[in-house]
Amino acid sequence: MREPTLAAIIICLLALTKAVGQTAQDNLKITHLTGDFYIFTTYNLYQNSRIPANGTYLVTREGVVLFDTPWDTTQFQPLLDSIRIKHDKNVILSFATHFHEDRTGGLGYYKKLGIKTYTTKKTDLLSKQTGKARAEFLIDQDTTFTIGQYSFQTYFPGHGHTADNIVIWFEKEKILLGGCLIKSVNDNTLGNLADANISEYATTVKNVLKKCRDPKFVIPGHDEWVSTESVNHTLKMAKQLKKGKSKK
């Protein structure tokens, strides 16, 4: 058998390097939203399909704040590294919007690194009951946080996707982080309803509409955020689901 030439070996190594780079890039996508706001997207399997999960981070004078953690456990550290390289700042805070792993998965990892991690008490209770990662600090009620030059509110609108789902509202910037309560306009269903309240879902989304008026950006937990109509789209699907249930 012929020995591989040096040129062939180099070509193979370059191809492998490119493939590894593409894989790493495909597993973590960072997109600029507006100003100091960025969306990070990671992926995992759900019902045999590769599903994107959106989180957000905010660059402040004091450091970077994460809203939700990567769904892909291999991307906990790469996200921190990417933020450090891109902005020359460290992540200092991490919030999770409900107890499912696509939101809380990295809390334990980040807590060990000294990053302050937050969830509501409801989320912590459900995380404890289901063996999910738990935060160091707990939010007892709807709270306004001021980090550097930015302020935002944590808001529990009611039981929808889960009993603990909150949204994050930047009132001044009109940016709504909907988590998995809010679905993308590209979604045809409300997704995972294992812990949902079908009867209350529509009312909960209505509460979001009342609280978070005229958003300029709405970031759903999964898929695209190209439209601010995702809250109304979610409400429409929730009403249809409730109506269908009542007919049974």
Count of CB atoms situated within 10 Å of the CB of 239:
15
CB 52 within 8 A of CB 223: yes
Residue carrying structure tokens 């493939």: 19
Residue carrying structure tokens 């939010």: 139
Is-catalytic flag, 32?
no
Is-catalytic flag, 192?
yes
44, 72, 161, 233: the catalytic one is 161
36, 54, 100, 159: the catalytic one is 100
DSSP 222: B
186, 192, 197, 207: the catalytic one is 192
Q: Where are the beta strands (DSSP E) in 85-174?
A: 91-95, 116-120, 137-139, 143-147, 150-155, 167-170
98, 159, 222, 233: the catalytic one is 98
36, 102, 124, 187: the catalytic one is 102
Q: In what order do the strands lie in the sheet with 217-220?
A: 143-147, 150-155, 167-170, 175-179, 217-220
Is-catalytic flag, 222?
no
Distance CA 248, CA 214 (A): 36
Is-catalytic flag, 164?
no
Residues marked as catalytic = 98, 100, 102, 161, 192
